[in-house]
Structure 1
Amino acid sequence: MNAAIVGASGYGGEILVKLLAAHPKVTLKAVTSRSQAGKPVSSVIPAMRGVLDDMLFENSDPAELAAREDIDVFFLALPHGAAATYARAIVDAGKKVIDLSADFRIADPATYEEFYGAEHPDVDLLGRAQYVMPELSDDSWKDKDLYACPGCYPTSILVPLLPLVKAGIVSKEHIVANSYSGTSGAGKQSKEAFSYCEVNESAKAYGVPKHRHLSEMEEQLTAAAGEKVIMQFNPHLAPMNRGIATTITVPSNGSTIEQLYAEWEKTYADKPFVTILPSDTRPDTKYVVGTNRVDISAVKDERTGNFVITSAEDNLVKGASGQAIQILNLWQGWDETTGLI
C-alpha cells in the first residue's frame, strides 16, 4: 500500500513518518508540510537520516495531493478545521483517509459546534466517515471512506471504561476522570506557557470543566449505554515529554472487582494492545512510552463503593499515530501488530 502523510512536521506526524517508513507493507510516497516544503525529511526529522535521505517535504495542496495516482491512503496529521478540506478532496478522488484530527470524531454537528466553537467544516462528509476504536468498533467501519482516529485522552478513558458502562458493571452517573498528559500533547507551540521553565517541575489542570475531548467521550459512552452519559473530565499538564496517566472514579453499581475484571477479560482477550494488569498494580507511563499499548487496572474502594480505574498510554503512539496505523492494518486485513512491535 502506498501512503502519504499530510502535515508531517508536528509531533504526531513525526511518529507517523518513523512508523510508516519501517512498516513492511507500506511504501511512503509523500510527506507534506507547508512550513517545511522543499527541505529533506531527514534534516527536519533527524531520526530519519540514512532512511529517508532522498525524500523532500512537499507542499500540501489538497487538489494536487488528491490527483496523485501513486497514493492509496492518506494520513491527515492536521489541526481540526484544516483536515476537512483535505479529506473532502481526497475522498472525492476515490482515495481513503485516516484522520488524526477532531473533524470527524463527533457524529453530531451541533456537539462539534458547541465544543469547538465553529460550525462543522463538512457535515456531508460526516456521513461517509466512521469513528474507529480498533478494540471496540465492529467490522462495519471498514466499508467507509474516511476513518476518524480517537483522541489521546479519550483512548485512555474509553478503553477501560466503555465496556464496563455498556455491560452495566459501573454506574452511568458520577463518573470522574483525571488525566495527566506530557507536554507533547499540546503540539509544537512556541507559546510561553509551554517553554521549559514554565512546564518543568510543575503540574496544573487546564481546560476544565469542558475540555474539547469531553464531547467525544460522552458521545461514545452515550451510544454504549443507550442513554445520555455526562461525566466530569479534568485534564492536567504534567512535566514530562510523552505519556498519559488517567485515573477514573466511578460508582461500582453493586458490582464486584471480579465482575469488572471478567468483563475486561472477555472484551480484550484477543486484543494485543490492551494489557490488563493485576488489581494491586498501577499502570506507569514509563513502561508504555514508545509502544502502541494501553495498560489498565482497577481496584474497588469498599469504603466508598467506587471503582478506581487507572490507565497509561503513549499519547503520540496509542493516542494518535500508532492507533492510526493499527486502523490501517485492520482495514487491510493485515496482522494488527504489523509495523507496531
Structure 2
Amino acid sequence: MKVAIVGGSGYGGVELARLLQQHPNVNLTQIISHSQAGANFSEIYPQMTTIIDEPMKDLNLEKLADDIDLVFLATPSNVSHRFVSDILEANLKCIDLSGDLRLKDPALYKSWYNFETTAEAYLDQAVYGLSEIYQDQISEANLIANPGCFPTAGLLALIPLIENQIISTESIIIDGKTGVSGAGRGLSLNVHFSEMNENTKAYQLGNHKHIPEIEQELSEKSNDSIMVNFTPHIIPMTRGILMTSYTNLMIEQTNEQITELYQSYYQDQPFVRIRENGQIPSTKEVYGSNYCDIGFQVDSRTNKLIVVSVIDNLVKGASGQAIQNLNIMAGWDQRTGLHQIPIYP
C-alpha cells in the first residue's frame, strides 16, 4: 500500500515515518509539510539521513491521489477538517491523528477546541480508532479518527469496567501525567527547559480538550451520560503517559477477579498487557512501543478500584495506533510493522 503523511515536520509525523519504514507492506511515497515545503526531511530530522533524504512537498491533492492509497493527517487541530471532503472525494482512505474528527457533536468543537468545524457531514462517518474496542468498524472504514493520547490510556483502562458494570459511573476521577513531547514541537514558554526541568505542572484543569472525547466514549459504552474529573500534568520527561483512574466499586471485587476480567476482555489483543499480583506499570516499560500496560489495586478499605495505565504518547497514543488501524483496515495482522520491544532503560 502506498501512503503519504501530511504534517511531516511534527513529532507525530516523524514517528509515523520511523515506524512506516519498518512496515513490510507499506511504501511511504510522500511527506507533506506546508511550513517546511522544499526542505529535505533529513534536514529537519538528521536521524533520517540516508533513510529518507527527500524534500517535503506542499499539499496537492490531485497529484497525491494519483500516487497513494491512504493519507495520514498528522496535523495540528483546526487543520485536517478542512481537507477531509477533498481527500474522500479523491477516493483516498484517511487516518486523521488530530482531534478534528473525534467528537460526534459538532457544537463541542467551538467550546472545547475553539473553532467551528467544516467537516460536520463527516463526523458520523469517521470511525473512532480505538483499535482494541472498535476493530470491526475500523476494518470496514475509509475514514478513521485516531484517538488522543490521554483518552487512549484512560479508555483502555476504564471501558472493560464500564461494560461489565463493575464501577459506579457517577464519580470517576482521572489523573494524567505526560511527557513534554505531548505538547508538540512548536516553541512554547511552558515547555522551555528552564521552566520544565525539575518541575511538574497541572494544567487546563476541568477544560482539557480530551475531556469530551473520554466522556463521549464512556457514555457510549454505558448507554448513559458520564462525566469525569480529569486533571492532566506535564512532567520533565520526553515520552510517556501514566493515567491513574480512581473509581468506586459497585460490587465487592478481589484483585484476582479484576485480573480475570481484564485478561478475558483483552485476551485477543496483543498490545494490551495486564499486570498481575499487584504489579503497577511505569512509563519506561512501554517506551518506544505500541503497548498499553494496565495494573490496578482494589482498595477494600474505601471500596475503590485504582487503575494505572501507561503508554508511549507518540506510539500507542498517536502514530503506532494509527498504523495499527491501518493494519486492521487492510486486513493485515495488527502487529505488522509494530514489533518494537520497549526501550529500557
- Kindly state the Cα deviation for residue 279 of structure 1 after the two structures are TM-superposed: 4.1
* 3-state SS, counterpart of residue 223 of structure 1: helix
| Correspondence for 1:323 | 321
* 3-state SS, counterpart of residue 308 of structure 1: strand
Q: Distance in 1 between matches of 2:165 and 2:325?
A: 28
* 3-state SS, counterpart of residue 141 of structure 1: helix
| Correspondence for 1:167 | 164
Is it true that 1:191 corresponds to 2:193 in the alignment? no
* 3-state SS, counterpart of residue 3 of structure 2: strand
Structure 1: gaps of 5 or more residues: none
| Correspondence for 1:288 | 286
Residue identity matched to 1:176:
I
| Correspondence for 2:57 | 58
Q: Is the 8 A contact 1:203 1:237 kept in 2?
A: yes
Q: Distance in 1 between matches of 2:252 and 2:11?
A: 41
Q: Distance in 1 between matches of 2:180 and 2:137?
A: 35
Is it true that 1:150 corresponds to 2:144 in the alignment? no
Residue identity matched to 1:31:
I
Q: Distance in 2 between matches of 1:141 and 1:195?
A: 38
Q: Is the 8 A contact 1:183 1:237 kept in 2?
A: yes
Residue identity matched to 1:36:
Q
Q: Distance in 1 between matches of 2:82 and 2:313?
A: 25
- Kindly state the Cα deviation for residue 309 of structure 1 after the two structures are TM-superposed: 0.4
Q: In the alignment, which of 249, 269, 272 is matched to residue 271 of structure 1?
A: 269
Residue identity matched to 1:338:
T
Q: TM-score, normalised by structure 2?
A: 0.95
Is it true that 1:312 corresponds to 2:310 in the alignment? yes
Aligned length: 338
- Kindly state the Cα deviation for residue 9 of structure 1 after the two structures are TM-superposed: 0.6
| Correspondence for 1:6 | 6
| Correspondence for 2:118 | 121
- Kindly state the Cα deviation for residue 278 of structure 1 after the two structures are TM-superposed: 1.4
Q: Deviations over 1:143-174 (max 9, x none)?
A: 33210111000011000101111110111111
Of all paired residues, the percent bearing the same amino acid is: 40
Q: Deviations over 1:303-341 (max 9, x none)?
A: 111001001110000000000000000111111111111
| Correspondence for 2:335 | 337
Q: Deviations over 1:101-137 (max 9, x none)?
A: 1111111112333212232221012232111211011
| Correspondence for 1:41 | 41
Q: Deviations over 1:25-47 (max 9, x none)?
A: 00011001112111111221222
Residue identity matched to 1:43:
E
| Correspondence for 2:343 | none
Q: TM-score, normalised by structure 1?
A: 0.96
- Kindly state the Cα deviation for residue 20 of structure 1 after the two structures are TM-superposed: 1.0
Q: Is the 8 A contact 2:286 2:292 kept in 1?
A: yes
In terms of mean alpha carbon deviation, does 133-142 or 205-214 score higher?
133-142
Q: In the alignment, which of 218, 221, 227 is matched to residue 224 of structure 1?
A: 221
Q: Distance in 2 between matches of 1:154 and 1:127?
A: 19
Across the aligned residues of Structure 1 and Structure 2, the Cα RMSD in angstroms comes to 1.3
Q: Distance in 1 between matches of 2:72 and 2:135?
A: 22
Q: Is the 8 A contact 2:275 2:294 kept in 1?
A: yes
Q: Distance in 2 between matches of 1:19 and 1:148?
A: 19
Structure 2: gaps of 5 or more residues: 340-345
Q: Could you say if the C-alpha distance between residues 255 and 137 of structure 1 is closer, same or farther in structure 2, counting changes exceeding 3 Å?
A: farther
Is it true that 1:108 corresponds to 2:105 in the alignment? yes
Q: Is the 8 A contact 2:138 2:325 kept in 1?
A: no
Q: Distance in 2 between matches of 1:138 and 1:9?
A: 29
Q: Deviations over 1:171-222 (max 9, x none)?
A: 1111000010000000012122211000110001001012110000000000
Q: Is the 8 A contact 1:81 1:121 kept in 2?
A: no
Is it true that 1:18 corresponds to 2:18 in the alignment? yes
Q: Distance in 1 between matches of 2:107 and 2:188?
A: 30
